[in-house]
Amino acid sequence: MTRIAVAALFAVGVALLALAAAPSLWAPREPYAMTRAPASPEAFRTVSPYGASGADVETLEFVARGVDAPLANAVVATGSDGRPAPLAWRNRVTEPVFFPDLDPADEAQILAAIKAHAPGDAVILAWWDFSRRIRAFAERRAPLDDAEASGLLIPTAWDADSTRIAATQRQFWGADVPEREGRTFQKFIDALLLDEAGGARLLSELAQGRDAFVALRLSDIWRASAARPGALSLGYKDFPAAGDPHGAMKAVREWMAREGVEGGYAVELRGATARVHYLSRGRDAQTLLAKLLPFSSSNPLALERLRLVHQFKDYWIYELK
């Protein structure tokens, strides 16, 4: 073999090793880019309701490939345990990008309510990122967390890449979380998808004999649906609501009747729009999660195993009896 041929083979080998060492060169491009930056003074002002001035805070921005305007902006704090938690989240498109909108002022108010209603030794059961904020800022025992970062809301336009996108985001949000905590969190989802009696029993098991409270947002039903595809027949439709909310509700009921929607619906006002979250199947309205949230088919005050202790906007806090 000539020296030239040997040199060529060597060069090819070096190139292959370089590519193997940089798998991102082989990976298909994500449909978005996530950029991270140290928090600016403005970002600290945004999350000031938490009292997070001394926290390890950074900003995230999500931009679609080839589009200059951001899809979403966020302010994130990383605790001493190395786990990041969103403190503010603003989606700039119709569908949420990974997380629902998060207003620090609203969140700070609900965290204050948790401190007011839950004794210092009580357990608060909530979605994994909400649990991180409860631990950090409400100073209550919120044991649930998830290495899998279950329930990330991926826009339907990215369905073809959803598995890869979820894996990429999981590396960030699930960092430093033991897998056993994720298995426990899955039991929380199991409980929410059972009926009231079965779900309450499983929630009691998760509380391990302590006084327990359940903290939820309306968006948690979407997150449960994302975590368990097909478990809930969930959809949404937007109706104009500017100036005539009663007329909008009449249009909602007429549309539900025409479409044959058997489950309940919940209305979220978004500026001049009423977003209707609905359950197509009647049996889904019997899940504990649907009963704990403001669906037309539910009556939170009629629950036997959970007592409503606080409600603010789309947040609902219950005491487990």
Q: What is the pLDDT of residues 140-166, one digit of tens each?
A: 999 999 999 999 999 999 999 999 999
Give the Cα separation of 24 and 98 in Å (integer).
22
Helix (H, G, I), strand (E, B) or coil at 81: coil
Contacts of 199 (CB under 8 A, 6+ apart): 191, 192, 193, 287, 288, 289
Cβ neighbours of residue 168 under 8 Å, at least 6 residues apart? 30
Task: Give the three-class secondary structure for 99.
Answer: strand
Mean pLDDT of the chain: 89
- Parallel, antiparallel, or unpaired: how do β-strands 84-91 and 123-125 relate? unpaired
More confident residue, 273 or 91: 91
d(CA 151, CA 174): 12
CB 264 within 8 A of CB 297: yes
Question: Residue 42 in 3-state DSSP?
Answer: helix
CA atoms of 172 and 182, how far apart (whole Å):
15
255-276 pLDDT per residue, tens? 988 988 889 999 998 888 889 9
Report the number of secondary-structure helices (H) and strands (E) in the chain: 10, 11
Question: What's residue 245's pLDDT?
Answer: 66
The residue-averaged pLDDT of 239-255 equals 81
Q: What is the pLDDT of residue 156?
A: 94
Greatest alpha-carbon span in the chain:
87
Q: Are 54 and 80 contacting, i.e. CB atoms less than 8 angstroms apart?
A: no
pLDDT band at 4; cut points 50, 70, 90:
very low
Local structure of 79: helix, strand or coil: coil
- 3-class state of residue 161 by DSSP: helix
d(CA 185, CA 143): 9
User: Which segments of 79-212 does DSSP mark as H helices, in order?
Assistant: 104-117, 128-133, 162-173, 179-193, 196-207
pTM: 0.89
Of all residues in the chain, the percent with pLDDT exceeding 90 is 77
Measuring CA to CA, which residue among 25, 81, 86, 93 is closest to residue 59? 86
In degrees to the nearest 10, what's the CA dihedral of 283, 286, 287, 293? Answer: 120
Residue 99 sits at φ, ψ, to 5 deg, of: -130, 155
So what's the pLDDT on residue 54? 67
Residue where the block lists tokens 């403190």: 87
Q: Could you tell me which of 67, 39, 36, 70 has the C-alpha nearest to residue 55? A: 39
Instruction: Find, among 186, 24, 168, 202, the residue nearest to 98 by Cα.
Output: 168
Q: Strand 212-217 vs strand 123-125: parallel, antiparallel, or unpaired?
A: parallel
